[in-house]
């Protein structure tokens, strides 16, 4: 033990915790850590081109696996670059450890080169936030950071001054097994009785399930069958059940479906299971709610609840099911199903259209059709999220992840790299807008460098499409949403990957198939209709009015719309 330094011990602990990759950029005061990575062969360093991409990749790994993922950056700029990706992890409750270098302790507090107060910088994002002051604290500090990130589901940060990083660790080794499986937490029997009694009196129950129900699909299906309840999925929970599941009626919110909206509006009880669906404007005021959540602080957070069940979704549902009376009347469910059929056929009009410019819905539907049954989708933020939510039909073992809580652009491709490294045998597809992709496009080079065969699909509308829609709803003319792009397929080839550019519907299926079987990192750059509006499942008068106002202003020559017509 005596010949090991602080960094060696950190890596040993991380290896014990199952960590396989550390994403980051070498340099300055993090070099001792980089050197320690070089001297062992369990954990691999992925040298990204922007620390934010590394933090997103780690966050995606943590979200998809539930296991600890790690990123790092040097003091000052490197650490600052990590922040957005770390906030993504924080808001989606993903266990991520960030290691940052810091200037030597003798220089601290003197505005030294690249000195930034990292503890105050990370204070808000991190659940655990410590500077290592001496080798004597090892391995205690790193073990505690790992526990905090994993058990509290969030970001842990350790700051490592350069001199401390190289200190020898002389403490005798002490180890406990670091991480355990989550226990089957069940609320006390009277809560289960109360919830069952309530649900037994309701006739129109809608289930709103989120990512917290991911490991409870059997129980979820069973409870839906007993209660004859349609299931609406919060977007982060899109992959908990197939989209074509007979009880699933899509999502809720602006990206949701009309049947989802109606089932929540018309039910006499909303049964929320493992979800923190944030948009309270979609939850009617007088709604009666039963809620299950593993985190007691989530119960009643969005809407008041009749009974809050503090427990794990699978085991709580399993305890509840024997006490539920099977509902005889399935009118409510059947109405939802009928509405869903109509909704799906209205979507099919766009999905199967051969119109030029190509409807983004048709691109999403085509990817959905040919993706492998265990493909992983990593979705970016923008209108592209709308097409992913509505026109990608999750099936079989497919997984879906996004920057759900933070809704950050640039998540898609970085997340795909993280996912592909963790699940090398699976097809990993990044669904990106041109804006989100371009934000961190340099990291396509990282995918090429490490041979990470991701498929990046760019829904290229030369616009910040979602912002254009926002402007229109606000009644203001389109302004500063146009984007000058390069040919992203050519860019892919220049980087050493492969790519294909598609101008419209001709050849769409072949292009998608070619992209999906690529053995190299691939960019499929597809021109899609820039005027495609992400209609909400129901339109408020105010929104329609705002839209009309924007159009009139554009007609009168305000805004930049006129300049856009020859952008291709
Ligand atoms: C551009 C954009 C638009 C969006 N629009 C929409 C939209 O229209 N509709 C929509 O739904 N989302 C939308 N989102 C995502 C939205 O912001 C929320 O992040 C998402 O709805 C939350 O999904 P969730 O409830 O499944 O996940 P989370 O917010 O992560 O909540 C999961 C909950 O489950 C609990 N939990 C975890 N494990 C367990 C367990 N074992 N047992 C019980 N409980 C558990 C957690 O404590 C937590 O409370 C959008 C995102 C983007 C980027
Ligand atoms: C980092 C970041 N900056 C700004 C925003 C605000 N924003 C949300 S969607 C969006 C436009 C996304 O454009 P693009 O990636 O081209 O996708 P599109 O909407 O055109 O499909 C913007 C600017 C954000 N969510 N994240
Ligand atoms: Mg765009």
Domains of the chain (ranges; CATH) run 6-165 (3.40.50.970), 189-338 (3.40.50.1220), 352-555 (3.40.50.970)
CA 212 – ligand 2 centroid, Å: 27
Q: Grade residue 563 by pLDDT with cuts at 50, 70 and 90.
A: very low
Q: What is the mean pLDDT of residues 70-87?
A: 97
pLDDT at 560 (0 to 100): 59
Token digits for 160? 């490592």
280 CA to centre of own chain: 20
pLDDT at 549 (0 to 100): 61
pLDDT at 552 (0 to 100): 59
Token digits for 486? 């390069």
Q: What is the mean pLDDT of residues 294-322?
A: 97
- 8 Å CB contact between 336 and 267: no
Mutate to test the pocket of ligand 1, among 153, 182, 213, 236 (most ligand atoms within 8 A of CB): 236
Q: Grade residue 567 by pLDDT with cuts at 50, 70 and 90.
A: very low
Taking all residues of the chain, what is their mean pLDDT, rounded to a whole number?
93
Q: What is the mean pLDDT of residues 5-34?
A: 96
pLDDT at 558 (0 to 100): 64
HEC assignment per residue over 10-79:
HHHHHHHCCCCEEEECCCHHHHHHHHHHHCCCCCEEEECCCHHHHHHHHHHHHHHHCCCEEEEECCCHHH
pLDDT at residue 541 greater than cutoff 60: no
DSSP E strands, 110-170: 126-131, 155-161
* Percentage of the chain lying above the pLDDT 90 cut: 88
How do residues 424-468 score in pLDDT, each as one tens digit?
999 999 999 999 999 999 999 999 999 999 999 999 999 999 999
How far is residue 392's CA from residue 364's CA, in Å, rounded to a whole number? 6
- 8 Å CB contact between 75 and 68: no
Mutate to test the pocket of ligand 1, among 90, 191, 240, 255 (most ligand atoms within 8 A of CB): 255
Q: Which residue has the higher pLDDT, 119 or 476?
A: 119
User: Looking at ligand 1, which atom is closest to the CA of residue 209?
Assistant: 26
pLDDT at residue 565 greater than cutoff 60: no
pLDDT at 172 (0 to 100): 59
Q: Grade residue 170 by pLDDT with cuts at 50, 70 and 90.
A: confident
Q: Grade residue 544 by pLDDT with cuts at 50, 70 and 90.
A: low
User: Looking at ligand 2, which atom is closest to the CA of residue 381?
Assistant: 9
Ligand nearest to the backbone CA of 431: 2
End-to-end CA, the chain: 63
pLDDT at residue 477 greater than cutoff 90: no
Q: What is the pTM of this model?
A: 0.96
Residues 169, 173, 179, 185: what is their CA dihedral angle, to the nearest 10 degrees? Answer: -120
């Amino acid at each position: 033990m005596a010949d090991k330094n602080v960094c060696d011990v950190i890596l040993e602990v991380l290896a014990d915790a199952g960590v396989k990759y550390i994403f980051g950029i070498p340099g300055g005061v993090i070099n001792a850590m980089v050197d320690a990575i070089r001297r062992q062969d369990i954990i691999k360093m992925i040298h990204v081109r922007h620390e934010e991409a590394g933090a997103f990749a780690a966050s995606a790994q943590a979200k998809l696996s539930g296991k600890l993922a790690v990123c790092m950056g040097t003091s000052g700029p490197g650490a600052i670059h990590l922040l957005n990706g770390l906030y993504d992890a924080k808001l989606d409750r993903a266990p991520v450890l960030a290691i940052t270098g810091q200037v030597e302790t003798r220089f601290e507090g003197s505005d030294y080169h690249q000195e930034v107060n990292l503890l105050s910088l990370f204070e808000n994002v991190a659940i655990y936030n410590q500077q290592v002051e001496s080798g004597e604290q090892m391995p205690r500090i790193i073990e505690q950071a790992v526990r905090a990130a994993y058990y509290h589901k969030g970001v842990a940060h350790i700051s490592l001054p350069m001199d401390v990083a190289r200190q020898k660790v002389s403490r005798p080794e002490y180890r406990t097994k670091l991480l355990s499986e989550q226990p089957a937490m069940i609320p006390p029997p009277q809560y289960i009785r109360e919830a069952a009694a309530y649900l037994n009196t309701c006739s129109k129950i809608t289930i709103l399930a989120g990512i917290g129900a991911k490991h409870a699909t059997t129980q979820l299906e069973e409870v839906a069958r007993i209660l004859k309840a349609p299931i609406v999925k919060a977007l982060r929970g899109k992959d908990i059940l197939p989209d074509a599941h007979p009880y699933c009626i899509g999502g809720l919110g602006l990206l949701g479906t009309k049947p989802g909206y109606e089932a929540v509006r018309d039910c006499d009880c909303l049964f929320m299971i493992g979800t923190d669906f944030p948009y309270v404007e979609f939850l009617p005021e007088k709604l009666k709610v039963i809620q299950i959540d593993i985190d007691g602080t989530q119960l009643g957070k969005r809407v008041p609840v009749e009974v809050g069940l503090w427990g794990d979704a699978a085991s709580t549902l399993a305890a509840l099911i024997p006490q539920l009376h099977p509902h005889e009347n399935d009118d409510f469910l059947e109405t939802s199903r009928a509405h869903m059929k109509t909704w799906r056929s209205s979507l099919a009009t766009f999905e199967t259209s051969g119109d030029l410019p190509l409807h983004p819905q048709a691109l999403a539907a085509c990817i959905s059709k040919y993706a492998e049954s265990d493909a992983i989708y990593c979705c970016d933020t923008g209108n592209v999220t709308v097409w992913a939510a509505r026109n990608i039909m999750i099936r079989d073992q497919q997984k879906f992840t996004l920057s759900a809580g933070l809704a950050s652009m640039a998540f898609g491709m970085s997340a795909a790299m993280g996912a592909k490294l963790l699940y090398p045998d699976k097809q990993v597809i990044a669904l990106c807008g041109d804006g989100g992709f371009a934000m961190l496009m340099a990291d396509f080079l990282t995918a090429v460098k490490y041979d990470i065969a991701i498929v990046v699909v760019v829904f290229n509308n030369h616009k910040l499409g979602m912002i254009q829609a926002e402007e229109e709803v606000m009644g203001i003319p389109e302004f500063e949403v146009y984007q000058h792009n390069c040919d992203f397929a050519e860019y892919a080839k220049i980087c050493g990957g492969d790519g294909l550019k598609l101008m419209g519907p001709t050849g769409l299926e072949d292009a998608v198939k070619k992209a999906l079987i690529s053995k190299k990192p691939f960019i499929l750059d597809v021109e899609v209709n820039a005027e495609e509006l992400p209609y909400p499942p129901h339109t408020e008068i105010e929104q329609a009015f705002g839209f009309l106002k924007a159009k009139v202003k554009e007609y009168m020559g305000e805004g930049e719309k006129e300049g856009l017509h020859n952008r291709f």
